[in-house]
């Protein structure tokens, strides 16, 4: 990341600061509470689609030694632990990993690592790499490099599973104003931060990953999520 121009490095630093500050609030988003409450019907659809992704992840069966990038507050860490023998949960925000650890009751199977994903070098290779709601925060100019790093984390025959946001269309989403690949996010106290947010559709993302040498399958739920697997 050191070879990025100063504005891009500043943007990534601001993005990390946002997620550090947001850690105590993140559950409101995932649980559709407070300003993320979209009403009974859309909330029901959200949780149904979360269930759809969970079922896809269970079918993927992320067993063995698993690496979770951008582990955050643990909503997907707990799903991974239904299958994994051992799990490394990595995130640049120690505040998010603290919530993660509390959620999982300091499960001894989990090793927590605070590190910059773009700079971190694994000490070993993994059977599975998982990342949730992270690919959309990777700057487009780092897309290829990020997937090279993912490949370097995998053992021969290793696999990848990911989930991310689908292009939004609701009023709540429109309130997250932005321009192109940069979006402005607001905390409950009104502070605002710029973050990278790139939305992917299944077919173009599949094609791009195949161009990088991955066998990939990407799908979308009706409203909220894009998810896929690669090897």
Over the stretch 58-88, which tens digit does the pLDDT of each residue have? 999 999 999 999 999 999 999 999 999 999 9
Give pLDDT, residue 177: 42
Structural domain includes residue 85: yes
Give pLDDT, residue 169: 66
In whole angstroms, give the CA distance from residue 27 to residue 51: 17
Give pLDDT, residue 229: 98
Below-70 pLDDT ranges, the chain: 1-3, 169-180
Q: Is the dihedral of CA 191, 192, 196, 198 positive or negative?
A: positive
Quick one: what percent of the chain has pLDDT higher than 90? 88
Write down the number of H helices and E strands in the chain: 8, 10
> How far from 209 is each of 25, 78, 97, 152, 212, CA to CA, in Å?
33, 27, 29, 15, 5
Give pLDDT, residue 180: 64
- Residue 27, domain extent: 6-174+186-230
Helix then strand then coil, in percent of the chain rounded to 5, is 40, 25, 35
The encoded tokens of residue 68 equal 């979770």
Structural domain includes residue 181: no
Quick one: what percent of the chain has pLDDT higher than 70? 94
197-208: buried (b, 16+ CB within 10 Å) or exposed (e) per residue? bbebebeebbeb
Structural domain includes residue 49: yes
**The domain that contains 96 carries what CATH number?**
3.40.50.150
Structural domain includes residue 180: no
Structural domain includes residue 1: no
Number of domains observed in the structure of the chain? 1
């Amino acid at each position: 990341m050191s070879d990025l121009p100063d504005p891009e490095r500043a943007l990534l630093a601001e993005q990390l600061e946002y997620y550090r500050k947001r850690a105590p609030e993140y559950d409101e988003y995932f649980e559709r509470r407070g300003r993320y409450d979209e009403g009974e019907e859309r909330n029901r659809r959200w949780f149904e689609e979360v269930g759809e992704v969970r079922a896809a992840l269970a079918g993927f069966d992320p067993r063995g030694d698993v690496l979770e990038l951008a582990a955050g507050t643990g909503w997907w860490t707990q799903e991974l632990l239904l299958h994994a023998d051992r799990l490394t949960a990595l995130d640049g925000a120690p505040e998010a990993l603290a919530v993660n650890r509390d959620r999982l009751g300091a499960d001894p199977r989990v090793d927590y690592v605070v590190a910059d994903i773009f700079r971190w070098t694994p000490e070993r290779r993994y059977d599975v790499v998982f990342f949730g709601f992270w690919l959309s925060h990777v700057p487009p100019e780092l897309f290829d490099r990020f997937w090279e790093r993912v490949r370097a984390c995998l053992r021969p025959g290793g696999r990848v599973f990911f989930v991310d946001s689908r292009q939004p269309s609701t009023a709540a989403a429109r309130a997250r104003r932005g321009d192109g690949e940069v979006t402005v996010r607001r905390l409950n106290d009104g502070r605002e931060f710029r973050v990278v947010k790139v939305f992917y559709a299944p077919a173009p993302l599949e094609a791009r990953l195949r161009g990088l040498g991955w066998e990939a399958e990407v799908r979308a739920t009706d409203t909220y999520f894009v998810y896929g697997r690669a090897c």
